[in-house]
Structure 1
Amino acid sequence: MLEQLHNSGLKAEHCYAAGMVSVGLAFTSWLLSKRFEHAGIERADRWGIFIGEWAPTFFAMGNGLRTYEK
């Protein structure tokens, strides 16, 4: 699968950037959910954790793609 992504033009830097963006989105979604939703801190925590779980996947994909770039 990583080889197909590499052949389609996806680079490790793209995945690393997506990982960093997802960290920022996790914090932002947590903050906005906490501030504007009336469901409480539990829902804000769930949003932050849900989006925050994407970051390790993007970083791992970046590491995998890096092997094809060498």
Structure 2
Amino acid sequence: MIIKFLYDKGLRSEHANTVACAAIGLSVASWFTSRKVEAQGVDRADRWGIFVATWPATWFGLGQALSQYERTVVSFGR
């Protein structure tokens, strides 16, 4: 139901996978920036990197679900 809603709103598997890849880069960038800029030390930088690193798995999962839904829509029509 949620996947159909997202598909109807225009989100496609390519979009979700692109966001997932960008989130990987954002994770590395947030870790590096936090490590260099904040005075909190490496522990805080690690927490930022890990927090942002949870996003790609979610987006890749959505991309996979959308891909399966797209195959169903193309195969059977709406």
Q: With structure 2 as the length reference, what TM-score do the two structures score?
A: 0.88
Distance in 2 of aligned mates of 1:48 and 1:60: 20
Partner of 1:49: 50
C-alpha displacement of 1:64: 0.2
Moved over 6 A (4+): none
> 1:21-70, CA deviations, whole angstroms, 9 ceiling, x for partnerless residues?
00000000000000010001000000000001000000000000001211
Partner of 1:69: 70
RMSD of aligned C-alpha atoms?
Answer: 0.5
Size of the aligned set, in residue pairs, is 70
Structure 1 residues 1-40: aligned runs within 5 Å: 1-40=2-41
Name the structure, 1 or 2, with higher relative contact order (CA <8 Å, separation 6+): 1
The amino acid of 1:50's aligned partner reads: F
Greater radius of gyration (CA): 2
Partner of 1:58: 59
Q: With structure 1 as the length reference, what TM-score do the two structures score?
A: 0.98
Distance in 2 of aligned mates of 1:19 and 1:39: 28
